Amino acid sequence: MADQTSPLPNLPSEITPEWLGSKLGHKIKSLSNTRNIWGTGSKLFYTITYEDDDDDDDSNNTNYSSKPTHVCIKGVFAPKMLAAQPWTLSLAQRESDFFSLIAPSLQTSGVPIEFPRAYWSGKDANQGIAIMQDLTHANCTFAPEVASYPYHVVLDGVEQLASLHAKFWGQSQDDPPSNAWIWNNYDPAMKFMCLSWDEAVRAPGRPKLPEFLMDGRRCNEALDRYFAERNPRFRTLLHGDTHIGNVYFTSDNKIGFLDWSAFHFGSCFHDVVYHMTSMLSVEDRRAHEMEILDHYLDALHRLGGPRLDRENDPEVMIEYRRSFMTNVIWLIVPDGLQSKERTDVLCERAVAAYQDHGVIDLILGQPKPVEVSSVKSSV
């Protein structure tokens, strides 16, 4: 799993039995493209027949050396979309980096976080590809466009996130030096999308927001300060995009996390509150969020992270409440990136969290560091 010297396929027609066989390490007799899901990262699904007769179905097989009969190949395979949204290339390359450089270390060290298993991954200047297990053939299911789940489901999600966070606790892209390649692609993308705040929140068909979220200048200032002033005490490696559309459920009802294109170093509570807000109804989030937070904090310590005390350490709850700023995407999400049905529901959940935690006032009301605008974001 590494960068490539020969060009990777950029069109579905370029995925041939010869090419795929060279990556899987077995000669392929025939290849059938059964379905495709087009998006910022396209998913192409194939059924494979091998030259020999002792094929092994990978329905529940996570062994990299196995011969999968069903695979999902993820990359950028839609030239028109790539031309219109060239930033999607970096997402595909980023996800291939996850499967090449991070996923193996999570598996060998026994970090109990569920994600699709990859058989091969790589990138070049024009592509990033991950050849993964086809989760539908592993009896996995996916969240519908609009859904809410019981809080005990979210307990499983935040415990898995705690295992990831504990492994990388206190690290940054600068320390240790081996992390230098994990540059923060998340903050610049969010800042860019929020530049058109005033137009986005007033666009026809958008959910109606309370007045305090209609001021683009003030909300962008809060976003900038959130990124610049995150407390380094809580820094770790994040999944970065833990909303309901990026989860799946295994055959034994465990949560798994999809789409690892936004991983970066940041505040641990980013993953927690973003996951919680999208998975729970407003009522259930209000009723159970402290129980979920306590479960996360207990799991973080049990799995090798620090012991954090939300009742006696004011910095814990301040950072937790500030982190609800990460739900900003649902207030301004561009058309086409998410369905209107999902956007409307998750916007409602995000707005309620902003109101409950006074997020904008909390961020802007904190003492402003000296020359905050020039402070380099280290998380």
Residue pair 45/71 in contact by the 8 Å Cβ criterion: yes
pLDDT in tens, 232-257: 999 999 999 999 999 999 999 999 99
Q: Classify residue 54 as exposed, middle or buried by CB count within 10 Å of its CB (0-12, 13-18, 19+).
A: exposed
Q: In what order do the strands lie in the sheet with 247-249?
A: 141-142, 247-249, 255-257
Task: Retrieve residue 133's tokens.
Answer: 């297990």
140-374, what's its fold? Answer: Aminoglycoside 3'-phosphotransferase; Chain: A, domain 2 (3.90.1200)
CA distances from 202 to 209, 220, 282, 294, 326 (A): 9, 16, 24, 38, 20
- Rounded-to-integer distance, Cα 127 and Cα 19, Å: 15
Task: Retrieve residue 280's tokens.
Answer: 């729970």
Beta-carbon contacts of 168 under 8 Å, excluding residues fewer than 6 positions away, are: 236, 237, 265
**Domain boundaries in the chain?**
12-136, 140-374
pLDDT in tens, 291-304: 999 999 999 999 99
The interaxial angle of helices 216-228 and 186-194, nearest 10 deg, is 170
Checking if the pLDDT of 375 tops 90, the result is no
Query: Could you check whether 12-136 and 140-374 share the same CATH topology?
Result: no
Residue tagged 């809080």 (tokens): 151
pLDDT in tens, 309-368: 999 999 999 999 999 999 999 999 987 788 999 999 999 999 999 999 999 999 999 998
285: nearest Cα among 334, 216, 355, 224: 355
Considering the domain 12-136 in this protein, what is its CATH number?
3.30.200
